[in-house]
Structure 1
Amino acid sequence: MPDENEGSRPSAPPEYDVFDPREAFTLLTSPRSDERTGSLERDLESDPIPIIRRFYPPLPTDTPTILFNPAHRFIRRTNPREILIYTDGSCLSNGLGGSRAGCSFVISPHHKLGFRLENSGPTGELHPQTSNRAELRAVVAALEYRVWQGDSFGAWVRLVIATDSEYVVLGATERINGWIQRGWRTSTGTEVMNQDLWKRLIYYIKKAARPLRFSGPPHGTAVEFWKIPREWNGEADAEAKRGAQLEGEQEFRVMSGMMV
């Protein structure tokens, strides 16, 4: 499917505050107290869920490196207001006792983050370590890492999540509205797994869509999902596997990137 924005070029690229990658760090905090009661989404309750689309490259053979320039962000070559983030999850002994899961995202050639999947979700409930949960957690972490429509590096209008997870892509773009309409039940009537993270994903997609004035007229950032082959996601895959080897994390952590 052709990219509807293909060929649209801004008259001038945005200005960027370029930081030294060596100064970057990640601030780890606990969820806000109201998140423990599952009320985070109330902040944006009146906001409709944006249409969450799949990203289709202009050509089936187009890779992320063909379409996105690896600079201070992975920036669309034909539109410098669009960026890409790689995400992945990994789980050792998936589905067995003692499984260990890791998550990762890569926002630039200079900044990637791998971490252990927490045992607790944002509301404090315990959840098993699985590959699906790790892949979804990685996307949530990437979206909460920065205020992307007001990122220090540019006023992004589209953020493409590149993942090899069919679970994440189909869930976000095709299934989530049906789940909500059925009270977080699948089409067969079973309870949707990882509801806490799916709800958190919706929250951050809504938050990104809210117009924010950064450079030029106020605008939001649309989040799209690109299902890529595993071999195109090597760096995020390696980081997720390293994350799975880290010591266990009991409490859910909110990650905020500073000087990145």
Structure 2
Amino acid sequence: MPYYAVRNGRVPGVYNSWSECHQNVSGFPRAIYKKFHTHSEALTFCKGPTEHPTASAKIHESRVDENTVDWTVVYTDGSCKGPQSNRRAGIGIFWGDNHPWNLSKKVVGKQTNIKAEMDACSEAIEHALSKEVPKLIIRTDSEFTMKVVEQWLPKWQRNGFRLANGQEVKNSDAVRRLAKAANNPRIKIKFEHVRGHKGIYGNTQADQLANLAADS
């Protein structure tokens, strides 16, 4: 599969699809990017010096080291449809155009959108672990999932996944699964929030995969 390396762009890094690469270089002054057939070659290109060093180029090179160059990026989404008596939920995981890891899958168990969103993140981490991916950026449009991982999860874990009133947290199975996956020492995880339905290519593709599963 091809890898698109962006050395100078809006967000330097290695991308799995031309669409994502194009979003980062289109209209960007002195954009530097190239297509490779291996991830290691793309990574080396990103870390290399610019052809025409400038003050702004040096800034972008420092961003390469700090942000996404050696991180794998995945977009996740969840969907839930139908009347309350017959809810159907699905997850969508998008790694890149025609990527063999892309996934459209029905949710097992409770059929809710929140569970679908968290299950999509968990599934992505679990698959990355099976492929020995060392660093993973998960981009989700779920504000609830972001609050879980950034605000609530540490306290819930300390309290045995129970609230202050002693009741178990809602969707506890999905929360526990996400906690187990995200805390695995074999992988580093970054969660990033993206705005849904705003034309972000990866998010749109993950949304389509989730809807496909919910509709099937």
Give TM-score scaled by structure 2 length: 0.64
2:185 matches 1:240: no
**Pairing of 1:1-260 with structure 2 (within 5 A):** 66-71=11-16, 78=64, 79-93=68-82, 96-111=84-99, 112-119=102-109, 128-147=110-129, 150-151=132-133, 156=134, 158-187=135-164, 189-207=166-184, 209-210=185-186, 221-230=187-196, 231=198, 232=200, 233-246=203-216
Partner SS state of residue 95, structure 2: strand
Give the direction of change, closer, same or farther, for the CA distance of 1:129–1:143 in structure 2 (3 Å limit). Answer: same
Shift of 1:85: 0.7
- Partners of 1:164 and 1:192 lie apart in 2 by 22
Question: Runs of 4+ in structure 1 displaced over 3 angstroms?
Answer: 66-69, 72-77, 187-190
| Gap regions ≥5 residues in structure 2 | 3-9, 21-38, 47-63
Greater relative contact order: 1 or 2 (C-alpha under 8 angstroms, separation 6 or more)? 1
Seen in structure 2, the aligned counterparts of structure 1 residues 97 and 173 have a Cα distance that, compared at 3 Å, is same
Larger Rg belongs to: 2
Which one has a larger percent helix, Structure 1 or Structure 2?
A: 2
Alpha-carbon distance change, 237 to 188 in structure 1, aligned in 2, over 3 angstroms: farther
| Contiguous gaps of at least 5 residues in structure 1 | 1-17, 20-61, 120-127, 211-220, 247-260
State the TM-score, normalized to the length of structure 1: 0.54
| 1:245 CA drift (Å) | 1.1
Query: How many pairs does the alignment contain?
Result: 159
With over 3 angstroms needed to count, the CA separation of the structure-2 counterparts of 1:67 and 1:236, relative to structure 1, is farther
Post-superposition Cα deviations, 1:200-235, rounded to whole Å, max 9, x if no partner, equal 22222233x23xxxxxxxxxx311111110022111
Preserved CA contact (<8 Å) 1:70 1:109: no
Distance 1:110 1:68 in 2: 19
Q: Is this contact kept in 1: 2:13–2:70, CA < 8 A?
A: no
